[in-house]
Amino acid sequence: MSFEDDHEDRRRAIALFRETVLEDLSDSEPARGEISARIAELAEKPLVLPDGSERRFSERTLWSWWSAYRKEGLLGLMPAERSDKGVPREITPELLAKAIEKRVEVPSRSTKTIIDILQRQGIVSQGRLARSTLDRHLDRAGHSRRRLRTLGDKRYIRMLFERPNQLWVGDYHEAPILFVPRTGRFRTVHLSAFIDHYSKLVPHGQWYENEQLATLEDTFKKSVLKRGCPDKAYVDRGAVYRSAQFAFALAQFNIRLRRSKPYQSEGRGVIERFNRTVADQFEPEVRAARIAELDRLNLLWEGWLEERYHRDTHDSTGQAPLDRFAQDGFTPRWADPALVADTFRVRVSRKVHPKTSTVEIDGVCFLVENFLRGRWVRVYYDPHCLEDILVYLGRERVQRAFVAQPNEHPQPRPERPTATPASFDYLTALRADYDRRIVQQAKHLSLSNWTPDPAFSLGDFLQLCAGMLGKDLSPYEREDLTVAFQTVGPFSEPTCRLALEHALKLRGRGLHVSVYSHYLRTFHLAALRELAAGKPDNETP
CA distance 272 to 274: 5
Mean predicted confidence (pLDDT) in 249-267: 79
Is the per-residue pLDDT at 488 higher than 60? yes
Highest mean pLDDT among 58-62, 128-132, 179-183, 533-537: 179-183
Which of 119-133, 286-300, 460-474 holds the top average pLDDT?
286-300
> Does residue 159 lie in a domain region?
no
Based on the fold, state whether residues 455 and 518 are members of the same structural domain: yes
| pLDDT given at position 376 | 92
312 and 366 in a single domain? The answer is: no
Secondary structure letter of residue 131 according to DSSP? H
Residue type, 303: G
Assigned domain for 540 exists: no
- CA–CA separation, 198 and 201 (whole Å): 8
Q: What span, in angstroms and rounded, lies between the C-alpha atoms of 165 and 10?
A: 31
Clarify whether residues 208 and 306 are in a common domain: yes
In a domain, 416, yes or no: no
Which range (145-149, 262-266, 325-329) has the least confidence?
A: 262-266
d(CA 216, CA 474): 79
Q: Which range among 136-145, 465-474, 490-499 shows the weakest confidence by mean pLDDT? A: 490-499
- In order of 166, 244, 344, 367, the CA distances from 384 in angstroms are 28, 21, 11, 19
pLDDT above 90 (res 177): yes
pLDDT at 25 over 80: no
Same domain as 303, residue 207: yes
* In 197-306, beta strands by DSSP E: 204-208, 232-235, 256-259
Cβ neighbours for 5, distance < 8 A, ≥ 6 positions apart: 349, 378
Average pLDDT, the chain: 82
For the CA atoms of 14, 18, 20, 26, what is the dihedral angle to 10 degrees?
-150
Mean pLDDT lowest among 97-101, 261-265, 427-431, 521-525:
261-265
- Tell me whether residue 432 is in a domain: yes
What phi, psi does 380 have (nearest 5°)? -110, 125
Residue 216's CB: how many other CB atoms inside 10 A? 25
Residue 332 included in any domain: no
What residue numbers bound the domain in which 284 lies? 167-325
Residue 153 reports pLDDT greater than 50: no
Task: Please tell me the predicted confidence (pLDDT) of residue 10.
Answer: 80
55 and 127 belong to one structural domain: no
More confident residue, 496 or 5: 496
Which of 445, 523, 516 minimizes the C-alpha distance to 489?
523
263 falls within a domain: yes
Structural domains in the chain (count): 5
Contact 522, 507 (CB under 8 A): no
Average pLDDT over residues 512-537: 72
Hey, what amino acid is at 166?
Q
Residues 235/169, Cβ–Cβ less than 8 Å: yes
Residues 179 and 100 in one domain: no
Tell me if 10 sits within 8 A of 79, measured CB to CB. no
**CB atoms near residue 66 (< 10 Å):** 21
Which tens digits make up the pLDDT trace of 309-327? 999 888 888 899 999 998 8
Question: Is the model's pLDDT at 537 over the cut of 50?
Answer: no
Residue 152 pLDDT exceeds 90: no
Lowest mean pLDDT among 33-42, 80-89, 191-200, 287-296: 80-89
In this structure, the answer to whether residues 306 and 222 fall within a common structural domain is: yes
Lowest average pLDDT, out of 243-247, 330-334, 404-408, 498-502, goes to: 404-408
Residues 304 and 245 placed together within one structural domain of the fold: yes
> Do residues 246 and 213 lie in contact, with contact meaning Cβ atoms separated by under 8 Å?
yes
pLDDT in tens, 336-354: 888 888 888 888 889 999 8
Summarised one tens digit per residue, pLDDT across range 417-465 is 666 777 788 888 887 777 677 666 555 555 555 566 677 788 888 888 8
Residue 191 has pLDDT above 90, yes or no: yes
**Which of 448 and 176 is assigned the larger pLDDT?**
176
Per-residue confidence (pLDDT) for residue 209, from 0 to 100: 92
Same domain? For 112 and 253 the reply is no
CA atoms within 13 A on the CB side of 159: 20
Per-residue pLDDT, averaged over 466-491, amounts to 83
Among residues 88, 121, 140, the one where a domain terminates is 140
- Pinpoint the alpha helices (H) of 106-240: 111-120, 131-140, 213-227
* Beta carbons of 56 and 45 less than 8 angstroms apart: yes
With H, G, I as helix, E, B as strand and everything else as coil, classify residue 189.
Answer: strand
- CB-based contact 320:314 (threshold 8 Å): yes
Residues 210 and 355 in one domain: no
Residue 17 has pLDDT above 60, yes or no: yes
| Segment holding 39, helix H or strand E | helix 34-44
399 and 369 in one domain?
A: yes
Alpha carbon 463 to its chain's center: 70
The pLDDT-based confidence of 41 (bands split at 50, 70, 90) is confident
Instruction: Say if residue 225 is in the same domain as residue 197.
Output: yes
pTM comes to 0.50
- 199 pLDDT band, cuts 50/70/90, is very high
Residue 84 lies in a domain: no
Distances (CA, A) of 332 to 169, 329, 337, 416: 17, 10, 14, 53
* Long-range contacts of residues 383-387, Cβ cutoff 8 Å, at least 24 apart: 383/214, 383/218, 383/346, 384/214, 384/218, 386/361, 386/362
Query: Does the pLDDT value for residue 112 go beyond 80?
Result: yes
Percentage of residues in the chain having pLDDT higher than 70: 84
- Report if residue 191 sits inside a domain: yes
